[in-house]
Amino acid sequence: MTDTTAAARAQALLDRLNRALADRDFAAASRLFADECYWRDLVLLTWNIKTLEGQEQIADMLAAQLDAAAPVHLSLDERETVEEADGVVSAWIVAETRHARGGGHVRIRDGRIWTLLTTAQELKGHEEPLGTRRPMGAEHGIRRGRQTWQERRQQEAGELGREKQPFVLVIGGGQGGIALGARLRQLGVSHIVIDRQARPGDQWRNRYKSLCLHDPVWYDHLPYLPFPDNWPVFAPKDKIGDWLEMYTRVMEVNYWPSTNCLNARFDEDRQEWEVTVERGGETLVLRPKHVVFATGMSGKANVPKIRGQDVFLGEQQHSSQHHGPDSYAGKKVVVIGANNSAHDICAALWEHGADVTMVQRSSTHIVRSDSLMEIGLGDLYSERAVAGGMTTKKADLTFASLPYRIMADFQVPVYDRIRERDAEFYRQLEATGFMLDFGDDGSGLFMKYLRRASGYYIDVGACDLVIDGSIKLQAGKEISHLSENAVVLEDGTELPADLVVYATGYGSMNGWVADLISQEVADKVGKVWGLGSDTTKDPGPWEGEQRNMWKPTQQEALWFHGGNLHQSRHYSLYLALQLKARQEGLPVQVYGLQQVHHLR
């Protein structure tokens, strides 16, 4: 009797795919995919972060990669339940290639594969020392000259960067650099993470006073060491800073604070970088094989050039330089911008008695925090999700299993529900003149973040101050110039100001490459971030993945890492595995190296 359960049908389809792969019948393998189909691979077969769209692209990838990866085998994960709903069978899988073990997810529609996610989770022979492989720590027995753990750490710290060169240098020691450093430590990859701040976590401590995480705790865990169960849902900046400092020590990240990168160049002959840094008044030259820019999406401040900035008599600050409202009670403040930082800063200034005006030059997507948590994140990242058996890893892979091409289709109904739920709130906000949007296609916050990393505010209360007029609003107007004591808008409106805050966002991460390496190399790698969606601030053509993030770039041995805490956690694994493979000399064969279409 034929077993027609969803699990049996899914396994039968994977068996057919396995046979086609074993036979090197790429055409037969691709025909097992639907006419509209997507195979997203995170390092397992492509040694890249790559989404193949359509049967032709899938067949081409297999023809290029299968010989080096074989044997390849996919099967259902027996620990998980196969689900069927609305004509789609969804199943978790385990996957294995010659050099790696991993897993993923498959969606099957009308008997063929609609979406397939494959991910590398460990390299064979180079597994992390976890569980039964954990280190002993104490060295039992008696012998002369043995070192304690502390002595070994001190020796490593003294030699690294001097007698011994790191395999990887990570420039930027915020959450991204620290998470990657923890991954590299567990994989045995020699590394140094450098940052100009005096302590790990100062990247958060030194921001404006009211800054806190707008993402909930379940979304924000770091690798290996999740926040405790009593950690607040929305952590204040200084608490996050303290956690990052503790995490850096406990995870044994080789971290150099108070270190400035002065310049870098790639030595083609020696196939290594020459990076000049200044540390504690001493100039050192480091020679890593790989350099990772983990300078963050909020690293390269974007300050607009406005006529009259040189004659304005008050203070001018980018939002990254604004430490808080304490000095501005009774003062007039103009905040240029209307996204997350602008709202936070305006609200804190109002609380401390400042007369504050927000200048909104273009529309902003607003989503209330409680609605985002309940409708947007609740199924994956919430106490409800945890109680239902959802783990952080499973949530991350669920999110990763949706190809970016169709992710907006899944997000539009979510934000339609939010719009309906908060209709009166949005009506009141727009009545003030506030320019509201839900993205070019109505797909809301996550797609805006993935496409442009700007243009939104998760409302934790500031919008009520806009609605009742406590925060004054000038919307839809460009700035003409600054006078000695005011911001002058294009319609002639004068906004008296003692302080102007430019909450105007940040530039592409390759701006740091231009500063520290060269403009030529910055242009060689091109724009960082965005999907090529041909929406506002994310020009086409379609890329299918985040530009240049966590994967090989057009500049050999140069990488980018960053994003929010979720991305720093999830994608640090794939970047670390790629670097480990190169350290061990595995036969890395990259498929589909991203082409450059935009410089910044």
Looking at the domain assignment, is residue 235 inside a domain? yes
Answering whether pTM is above 0.85, one says: yes
The strand order across the sheet containing 486-489 reads 479-482, 486-489, 494-496
596 part of a folded domain? no
CA distance 210 to 128: 38
Give the three-class secondary structure for 486.
Answer: strand
Tell me: do 520 and 438 sit in the same domain. no
Q: Could you tell me if 191 and 218 lie in one domain?
A: yes
Instruction: Give the whole-angstrom CA distance, residue 200 versus residue 261.
Output: 16
SS3 (DSSP) at 106: strand
> Are 195 and 53 contained in the same domain?
no
Q: What's the rounded Cα separation, in Å, for the pair 244 and 337?
A: 29
Query: Of all helices (H) and strands (E), which one includes residue 128?
Result: none
Strands 282-286, 486-489: pairing kind: unpaired
Within a domain: 588? no
Residue 349, φ and ψ in degrees, nearest 5 = -65, -45
Helix H or strand E segment including 465 = helix 462-467
Q: Cα(29)–Cα(33) distance, rounded to whole angstroms?
A: 8
Domain with residue 70: its CATH number is 3.10.450.50
Q: Is residue 532 part of a domain?
A: yes
Residues 6+ apart with CB under 8 A from 587: 68, 99
Q: Are residues 293 and 369 in the same domain?
A: no
DSSP letter at 596 equals P
**CATH number (domain holding residue 573):** 3.50.50.60
Domain boundary among 469, 502, 535: 502
Question: Ramachandran region of residue 86, left (φ > 0), alpha (ψ -120 to 50) or beta?
Answer: left
Instruction: Mark 291-305 as b/e (b = at least 16 C-beta within 10 Å).
Output: bbbbbbbbbbeebee
The tally of domains found in the chain comes to: 3
Q: Which domain holds residue 529?
A: 155-299+507-583
pLDDT score recorded for residue 1: 31
Same domain, residue pair 187 and 227: yes
**Extended beta strands in 319-373, E state:** 332-336, 355-360, 364-368
- Regarding whether 539 and 465 lie in a shared domain, the answer is no
Amino acid at 472: K
Question: Does residue 368 sit within a domain?
Answer: yes
Helix pair 423-431, 404-421: axis angle to 10 deg:
80
Single residue among 470, 502, 534 that ends a domain in this structure: 502
Evaluate whether 114 touches 107 at the Cβ level (below 8 Å). Answer: yes
Contact criterion met (CB below 8 Å) for 65 and 89: no
Residue with tokens 């996050």: 240
Helix (H, G, I), strand (E, B) or coil at 175: helix
pLDDT by residue for the chain (600 residues), tens only, comes to 345 699 999 999 999 999 999 999 999 999 999 999 999 999 999 999 999 999 999 999 999 999 999 999 999 999 999 999 999 999 999 999 999 999 999 999 999 999 999 999 999 999 999 999 998 887 788 888 888 889 899 999 999 999 999 999 999 999 999 999 999 999 999 999 999 999 999 999 998 888 889 899 999 999 999 999 999 999 999 999 999 999 999 999 999 999 999 999 999 999 999 999 999 999 999 999 999 999 986 667 889 999 999 999 999 999 989 988 999 999 999 999 999 999 999 999 999 999 999 999 999 999 999 999 999 999 999 999 999 999 999 999 999 999 999 999 999 999 999 999 999 999 999 999 999 999 999 999 999 999 999 999 999 999 999 999 999 999 999 999 999 999 999 999 999 999 999 999 888 888 899 999 999 999 999 999 999 999 999 999 999 999 999 999 999 999 999 999 999 999 999 999 999 999 999 999 999 999 999 988
d(CA 8, CA 4): 6
Residue 142 lies in a domain: no
Find residue 116's DSSP bridge partners.
39, 106
Asked if 254 contacts 156 with a C-beta cutoff of 8 angstroms, the reply is: yes
Q: Are residues 102 and 168 in the same domain?
A: no
Please say whether the beta carbons of 328 and 354 come within 8 A.
yes
Q: Is 58 found in the same domain as 39?
A: yes
Residues 209 and 292 grouped into a single domain: yes
Distance CA 369, CA 65 (A): 44
474 and 363, same domain (yes or no): yes
